[in-house]
Amino acid sequence: MPSDDTTKNGAALPRLLVARRLPEAVEARLEGDYSATLNPTDEDRGTEGLIAMSAGMDALLVTPTDRLDADAIGRLADTVKIVATFSVGFEHIDVAAAARRGLVVTNTPDVLTDATADMTILLMLAAARRAGEGERMVRAGKWDGWTPTQLMGIHVTSKRLAIIGMGRIGRAVAHRARAFGMDIHYHDMQNLGPDLDEGATFHGDVEEMLPFCDFLSLHCPLNAETRHFINAEHIARLPDGAVIVNASRGPVVEDEALIQALKSGKVAAAGLDVYEGEPALNPGYLDLDNVFLAPHLGSATVETRNAMGFRALDNLDAFFAGTEPGDRVA
């Protein structure tokens, strides 16, 4: 559904295709500055739909569910000059193909750090304290009252938390975890130093860090090295009864390996907000009481989603004003 206005102050507005329905405040702003084709029903148009609708467009505003591989990039209308993604991650876009075509790609970093870190702590506590089991018990009318041994979970305070990926989100998680007296360990490409890691213990060799993981929180990007990093081999190096939390990228976890570890008790519990192949997550998780499952809520606050949209529009505004977008990734 295109907006009615196509000019502003006598100048033609850039034509923008918006892949999914966005927060009301974001759509209100973009309709004032663009000749926008919105998606009021929030239907998933799919790659082919986006390609077909790109005809005559100057820009696309897409989301992580919109896959633009090299073939799709090559088939977008020649008029398209920039793709802004409503996300930090951009693995759903072939940025190398975009660069070869001369297509600018931007993302929305920084603005979802706090929301995702908050969600990580929620996953950690919910998994360790069996919150999902308890909530289901109450809703099903199966709670008969307090007992001394009911749903005993795992103490979080003073445990060792290991973080893979000590970027902005990883550091925000560590900052929150210190309020629980947790002993922070981390692996990253380099030692961040005391100004950034606030005294956390650095492990240059991630294999060496795994035995220190009472809790393991994943905050790494998805690439060839991190895909299925949480596999049977690496799980075996964890202490018995560890808790795994993933609010980064679903494919960092090899599902079958984690499911087997949850069944055996090698991993006591897990808290997951992202999944390989989502929303069609591995059905093996659904029968397990010791995994807390959330529907990709990491950035799902009004404030954060608005900020993501505004950040995407800032990049588009800069591009069409003839300046370099601040968050260009291709």
Give the pLDDT confidence of 275-310 residue by residue, as tens digits: 999 999 999 999 999 999 999 999 999 999 999 999
Question: pTM of the predicted model, to two decimals?
Answer: 0.93
**Predicted confidence (pLDDT) per residue in 121-131, tens digit:** 999 999 999 99
Nearest to 312 by CA among 40, 85, 9, 75: 85
How high is the pLDDT of residue 76? 98
How high is the pLDDT of residue 6? 79
**Predicted confidence (pLDDT) per residue in 87-122, tens digit:** 999 999 999 999 999 999 999 999 999 999 999 999
Angle between helices 168-177 and 113-128 (to 10 degrees): 50
7-111+302-320 with 113-293: one CATH topology?
A: yes
**Residues identified as active-site:** 249, 278, 296
Residue 186 has pLDDT above 70, yes or no: yes
Nearest to 92 by CA among 116, 63, 120: 63
Mean pLDDT is lowest, of 2-11, 25-34, 133-142, 157-166, for 2-11
- For residue 321, count CB atoms less than 10 angstroms from its CB and return exposed for 0-12, middle for 13-18, buried for 19 or more: exposed
Read off the tokens for 298. 């990491």
3-state secondary structure of 110: coil
N-to-C CA span, the chain: 28
Find residue 184's DSSP bridge partners: 161
For residue 39, what pLDDT band results from cuts at 50, 70 and 90?
very high
CB neighbours of residue 189 within 10 Å: 10
Mean pLDDT of 155-173: 97
Nearest to 220 by CA among 91, 311, 125, 93: 91
Residue 238 has pLDDT above 90, yes or no: yes
Residue 136 has pLDDT above 60, yes or no: yes
Q: Measure the CA angle with vertex 251, ends 245 and 257; round to 5°.
A: 70
Locus of tokens 């000749």: 35
Query: What whole-number distance in Å separates Cα of residue 321 and Cα of residue 330?
Result: 18
CATH top-level class for 113-293? alpha beta
Residue 149 has pLDDT above 70, yes or no: yes
For residue 11, what pLDDT band results from cuts at 50, 70 and 90?
confident
Portion of the chain with pLDDT greater than 90, in percent:
97
CATH code of the domain made up of 7-111+302-320: 3.40.50.720
Residue 262 has pLDDT above 70, yes or no: yes
Residue 5 has pLDDT above 70, yes or no: no
How high is the pLDDT of residue 2? 54
The answer to whether the Cα torsion of 252, 312, 329, 73 is positive or negative is positive
- Check residue 242 and give left, alpha or beta (phi > 0: left; psi -120 to 50: alpha): beta
Q: DSSP readout, 131-195?
A: HHHHHHHHHTT------TTTT-----TT-EEEEE--SHHHHHHHHHHGGGT-EEEEE-SS---HH
Q: Are strands 15-18 and 35-37 parallel, antiparallel or unpaired?
A: parallel
Residue 3 has pLDDT above 90, yes or no: no
Sheet containing 59-62, strands listed edge to edge, beginning at the edge strand earlier in sequence: 35-37, 15-18, 59-62, 82-85, 104-106
How high is the pLDDT of residue 109? 95
Delimit the domains of the chain by residue range: 7-111+302-320, 113-293
Whether residue 80 contacts residue 57, with contact meaning beta carbons closer than 8 Å, is answered with yes
